[in-house]
Structure 1
């Protein structure tokens, strides 16, 4: 009897030991001290996704795609123009410039040189909710380590000084003149956001107000860098033919000792409901035909109504089969451009429409047709054929955007940073395929009314 008990004990011990080895080996619960796997999924096409967190708060998403000859390395920081203070607008965008400057272990220009020598595509972008830095390189163990090392360097060791700040202030001022002040589309977009938003920081320009850009100083830049450029405010997404265990070992090696920061809980003001239509008119000598931008206050991207709103955009505006595109451009030939877009934002966004008229065609014709079409949908709805077409177009666009490792990394990073769950990107199409005809009619009645509308018109100066 004692012999049997010992035998069963040995068998049980062996089974438990084997289970533990398999758990650690295959699921990476503790790949190395300071790294924990949070979850993984294997159902996104041929891509295997796993999520990790370091002890200092750094979030890492690995999207393994074995067939890819390149890998993408995207670093998202949970800071955008919405996090800036009044009088310091544009700082999030300003750091796009500063992070390519000198650091403790890299001379100015050395980051770009090393990236170019290794065949990298590299860039950065700033949005209202996030800032992103990315590289795409051929798959190679040394190149992966190079990017990990250089991005960890930029996260903790930037040497921000008066010379750099002064130099880049001039660059950004010129960028603003080119993209906003001297560009009618930039001017109108900035005017529309300022007109539509009374309190929310989405009404401020990402590039910043010119009067703020001219006042940047080293102290403000250092405070911004030390606060928001921290591991517990970042998500790294690496997509491609990578080895998860080796990659996470490198991440821990270069990022593991970087201290976390105390991220302030910034109180974002709630935008009050709009109660009447707003209009602004612009007269410019650098345009030949009348133009208009329209904005309707809509929803945050994770709101249940968002898919129906976006599909309504496809039905009315986007593509040759869309109602207003067909009517205004193909049939009546009164406009040269008609399109609409809806931002994927953390807080309620604007549904925006852009129209450019042909020469000598008044913008009032666009107003009449757009407003009439919304009223028609509110009264009669849309057809099942139109809804199916919109869903198919959206699905093609969605999967088309995921055709590269960079596209996959971008989607996973944005959803994890902005909405707190990368799986929302994976399951996105489920939300859109479930939209009904009743949903389309309901959102048209709820959001696309005159009292919820802002318009910026531009006319040639005579």
Structure 2
């Protein structure tokens, strides 16, 4: 489903997601191969990281730009690492350009432009599948609309044909039926966001900071009333005014040269006539006349207090200073707020700060989520004091350097990706469209490299001493205007005239034949080598030389499946504590060391493995590994840190108990796998189980599971194997297993398959949308060679956008923003889950359709030849794009080890796909899924939903939300 760059609120803290203003992915020339020099820094680490300015100097995205006669700007960047090309088309129009009465039009048109054009009249995902596209989507925000896909090089001409057809030849394919359907999809997208805890917060922020008639006075998703009022005439006028070639930029990044690109671009885009050029709406940076305070209630686990200030937009010189300032205040792991409110005084379970800048305006925000049991007024008072102290004293030089290094290292880690949401194509396009400069990212990095504490302090003083908005989000039921905002009336049935108009046929104004794809790009998965380290651990290594970065995962055979039945959440709590202090470094010192090195250490692994992953600049690899070594081998598990992290985990659990998706998952897992199964409980645990965990439990977990005789090492790096082995042995070579026995897991008897289907309804009052989650345990085994047959058969039923379940409820009925069916692949079990958020008044009808569609697919209407051909073509074509990055290779290597697959497994998939038949796919899926044995969990308003569900003829059990 399409994911939008629309700002959203979460329960723990408001997170504003917007168009980024600095690069995320760029080319980099190879950094020197020598390691970082070693020196005593006084913090327990002996690391002198590579200078920031030297790293910035290496970052570059060379490109060539030309403009067609019709005004289309074209930018081409060559990257030959893989046979793929990112194609991005950005239109210079967003929600700030919408006139009164047409809010949400830019976003609605983003949807319509995926619904077919005159010469490509099917859903565009059909054509993307034919090309083997990856990383495809479309997004709308305040300032622009964009479309992007990464395609195999042989399919580039097809991609240009497709993008040019919707640019120049769309309106003949926009029917009343498509408009009505996508209007419904967008409205369900709005309901889905509004239904989340904190889902109404952003509306209040925008209304307060940018009151009408400001261009930023409404969210990109628009209002229900304006969407309902959209007519064929108004949407067609909107398209003609805003989507001409001279209001657009095309970026190609990847396996293509400017010389080869130009004739193809001229061929497909050149004949498109010029249109009006949108002059982006000017917008002043508003200022509140006085401080504003708002209190809202919602189903959140803890009170969140966040302060907001308006700020200048992305073209302002102070952008970087404000961004760095908010990182230091509350964005970094070592931030001032984190150190004081979370670590030292333990008044909060989380803090946040950010500078979210759009083209014309920005929003600065600083917030904290009160620790349960702490008076929110005390948290707010302390938050205000810390903000004032920071503005008065300013940051230190070390803080500025750490923030800048963290930003740059994040940039470098994304250097490989040519497309997607944050790749090189996006970086060039956003600079061109929003700043009239494809090199905008470079200007920002130059500022970053030389930024001074004085500049940061001056910017913070200028903008954060103005009147602010304080928004307090408290636990409780939505009240008054907020409750009404979430309730949406069902659409009226179409009139006879509307039904007649819906029969309108596609009109082709110019025949444009679809170009052929004559060859297939083959995946070249890197060779994997294996070495035993000095500590006995198996090293799995692959070399990727595209960027000067190294990824290291130490994976241990544990996961949440290692938790004792009465101590669920132990693994999660333990993993959360490893980097919260070692025997020589405090949690604050660990955070600061990571930032100086530009390193990222994360923990995770899922149900079956517990892992520690380091992503490091190769120039800083040795000191980064030394830090990882200290975190893994020497955690202090200090009692005060245990209690702090325990409080955070419990707050997270309590938030899960209020969030529809999490409630459904927590309800379904023990039914599918069994209460006593390691897979039957939530990995985060329960409030009771996490409260019962002792320090001895945590140290026991480490000794039994996190040890060299229970793990493997996976590395993807630009550095050669011998250097990696030498470095790992130098740091981890003396690690020996403790004397206690290794841990063992017990899977025992899983829950019996139910004899028939049933419904469990979780009552969540005042929900404008219901969340449906159906599931069952299957006899499938991920180690079996036929497992890929099961996966591809599911691609016809529920596995992708074009699958039957999604096309029915989203594209045909318009009752949902997106439906998915997918295996839950575990080491010792495979479940099958169907998830569907649907509008409340159609819950029963939607579940009835899921049951009918699944049953017919498994009984009488299996995979068609057309579906088989579409799926196989897409799967083969996608392979080169799926493993473009080092992180993707690293994940694949771990998956191969988990399921006992050969190192070249990914390269064998194309042949396996080609051998598949409709019959072999049917055989695999019918052996795995039984349509009569689903348990359906529905989270919704029982007063609205229960009567609908009772019409389905299945037993309905009603439960109340856990408190």
Fold shared, TM-score > 0.5 on shorter chain: yes
1:377 positional shift: 2.1
1:325 positional shift: 1.6
The answer to whether structure 1 residue 201 and structure 2 residue 215 are counterparts is yes
Match of 1:326 in 2: 339
3-state DSSP of counterpart to 1:88: coil
1:402 positional shift: 3.5
Question: Unaligned regions of 5+ residues in structure 1, if any?
Answer: 1-42
Q: Give yes or no for contact 1:200–1:271 (8 Å, CA) kept in 2.
A: no
1:362 positional shift: 3.5
Match of 2:475 in 1: 460
Q: Bigger CA drift: 329-338 or 264-273?
A: 264-273
Summarize deviations over 1:37-56 as a string: whole Å, max 9, x none. Answer: xxxxxx97574300110010
Match of 2:749 in 1: none
One of 409, 415, 420 as aligned partner of 2:436: 420
Q: Which one scores higher on RCO, CA 8 angstroms, separation ≥ 6?
A: 1
Question: Unaligned regions of 5+ residues in structure 2, if any?
Answer: 1-56, 478-963
Alpha carbons of 1:422 and 1:44: their partners in 2 closer, same or farther (altered >3 Å)? farther
Runs of 4+ in 1 over 6 A off after TM superposition: none
Tell me which structure has the larger Cα radius of gyration. Answer: 2
Match of 1:313 in 2: 326
Match of 1:126 in 2: 140
The answer to whether structure 1 residue 190 and structure 2 residue 190 are counterparts is no
3-state DSSP of counterpart to 1:296: strand
Higher helix share: 1
CA distance in 2, matches of 1:415, 1:226: 25
Matches within 5 A, 1:360-375: 360-375=373-388
CA distance in 2, matches of 1:46, 1:297: 32
One of 86, 90, 99 as aligned partner of 1:85: 99
The answer to whether structure 1 residue 388 and structure 2 residue 405 are counterparts is no
3-state DSSP of counterpart to 1:405: coil
3-state DSSP of counterpart to 1:404: coil
CA distance in 2, matches of 1:369, 1:382: 18
3-state DSSP of counterpart to 2:384: helix
3-state DSSP of counterpart to 1:375: helix
Match of 2:458 in 1: 442
Match of 1:22 in 2: none
Matches within 5 A, 1:9-408: 45=59, 47-109=61-123, 111-121=124-134, 122-138=136-152, 140=153, 142-158=154-170, 159-179=173-193, 181-198=194-211, 199-265=213-279, 267-284=281-298, 286-406=299-419, 407-408=423-424
3-state DSSP of counterpart to 2:302: coil
1:70 positional shift: 2.2
Alpha carbons of 1:50 and 1:264: their partners in 2 closer, same or farther (altered >3 Å)? closer
Normalised TM-score (structure 1):
0.85
CA distance in 1, matches of 2:59, 2:285: 39
Summarize deviations over 1:12-43 as a string: whole Å, max 9, x none. Answer: xxxxxxxxxxxxxxxxxxxxxxxxxxxxxxx9
1:349 positional shift: 0.8
Summarize deviations over 1:395-415 as a string: whole Å, max 9, x none. Answer: 112333443112111111011
Q: Give yes or no for contact 2:311–2:463 (8 Å, CA) kept in 1.
A: yes
Alpha carbons of 1:272 and 1:114: their partners in 2 closer, same or farther (altered >3 Å)? closer
Q: Give yes or no for contact 2:308–2:469 (8 Å, CA) kept in 1.
A: yes
1:380 positional shift: 1.9
Match of 1:36 in 2: none
Summarize deviations over 1:133-156 as a string: whole Å, max 9, x none. Answer: 000123x2x311010000001111
Q: Bigger CA drift: 341-350 or 148-157?
A: 341-350
CA distance in 2, matches of 1:195, 1:307: 25
CA distance in 2, matches of 1:362, 1:96: 45
CA distance in 1, matches of 2:116, 2:281: 33
CA distance in 1, matches of 2:132, 2:374: 49
Summarize deviations over 1:352-378 as a string: whole Å, max 9, x none. Answer: 234333333343333223321222123
Q: Give yes or no for contact 1:290–1:362 (8 Å, CA) kept in 2.
A: no
CA distance in 2, matches of 1:314, 1:452: 21
Summarize deviations over 1:387-434 as a string: whole Å, max 9, x none. Answer: 111111121123334431121111110111011111112332101122
Alpha carbons of 1:441 and 1:271: their partners in 2 closer, same or farther (altered >3 Å)? closer
CA distance in 2, matches of 1:329, 1:69: 47
RMSD value over aligned CA atoms? Answer: 1.9
